[in-house]
Structure 1
Amino acid sequence: MNDPVAAREALIIEAIGEAGRLVESVEASTTHLRQIGRELNAAQAALRVSLVDFESRLSAVTEHAKTVCIKHIAEHTQDAARRSIDQQSRAMADAARLAFGAQLGGSMERLQALLRPLVESRQRRWKTVMRYAATAATASVTTLVITILTGQS
């Protein structure tokens, strides 16, 4: 074994054996890597299907959320509009009452001042008429009673 040629040949044989094992290992790794590539492609296809399903569900949820949000905003907008209209109506009615009240109040006071003497004079006339009517009624009743009493005696 001291022969350098024999040692070199032994090393070459051993290196060839190592190279063979390395080639077998690379071939096994290649087969294994191809299997992993197929599995990755299958996983990618499944992920695409899942992603399409997820996107459609997310789109449906988004549309539902938009619809609910729009309804909510519309309801609150209508409620705010109703309250605003009520407040404006009340404010306008109050303003009209004040404006017409002041104008009408002065007119009513003038009208009352004009009518008061007429009403008082009518009341005085009615008092006079009622006194005459009461006197006439008393006279009639007295006459009737006297007639009845004298007619019985």
Structure 2
Amino acid sequence: MGTSTAREALIIEAIGEMAAVVKRVEALVPKLQDTRQSLIDANTQLSNQLRQFEDHMHEITEHAKLVAMNHVAQHTREMTRKSVQTQVVEIHEAARKAMGAEIRPTLQELIAPLHRLAYQASQRESARERWERWLTHAMTAAVASSVTLILVSAWLWTR
């Protein structure tokens, strides 16, 4: 048996080991297919969970936006109300100051000559003129009463 038989023995042994490896690999194929299917199922399940997570995060984000917008709107209304109140107070104060500082002196300047004229008119009228003026009023009242009495008497008599 020379080298050829040793070589042949090695080749036969290598073929035997190759057959054992092939049998092991063939035994692994169903396990690899099961593993592949498990990976596909895990991927599908993970994708579904990811979609659910994204939907949940979207709901949380929308809720956070709504809460933030309501918060901003509430504070904006409050700041607007305070600003309007402040402006109203400032406008009233400015109007009060304007009345006191600018309009009141002008009105006093206009009223002062009228007071002087009224006083001068009352000083010029003598006692006789005042008596005549009151007497004229009294005579007018007496004539009006007489005419009314005559008209009422005539109306009653004709009935």
TM above 0.5, yes or no, is: yes
Q: 1:33-87 CA distances to partner (integer Å, 9 max, x unpaired)?
A: 2111111001011011101111111111111101100100000100111111111
The aligned amino acid for 1:5 is: S
Shift of 1:108: 4.4
Partner residue in 2 for 1:18: 17
Shift of 1:7: 1.4
- For structure 1, the 5+ residue unaligned runs are 119-153
Partner residue in 2 for 1:85: 84
Q: How many residues align?
A: 117
The aligned amino acid for 2:37 is: R
How many Å separate the matches in 2 of 1:4 and 1:93?
A: 122
How many Å separate the matches in 1 of 2:96 and 2:42?
A: 79
**TM-score, length-scaled by structure 1:** 0.67
How many Å separate the matches in 2 of 1:95 and 1:5?
A: 123
The aligned amino acid for 1:12 is: I
Identity, in percent, stands at 37
How many Å separate the matches in 2 of 1:10 and 1:104?
A: 130
Residues 18-57 of structure 1 mapped to structure 2, 5 A cutoff: 18-57=17-56
Shift of 1:23: 0.6
Partner residue in 1 for 2:126: none
Shift of 1:104: 4.0
SS at match of 1:51: helix
The aligned amino acid for 1:74 is: A
Partner residue in 1 for 2:64: 65
**TM-score, length-scaled by structure 2:** 0.64
If asked which structure has higher relative contact order (CA below 8 Å, sep 6+), I would say: 1
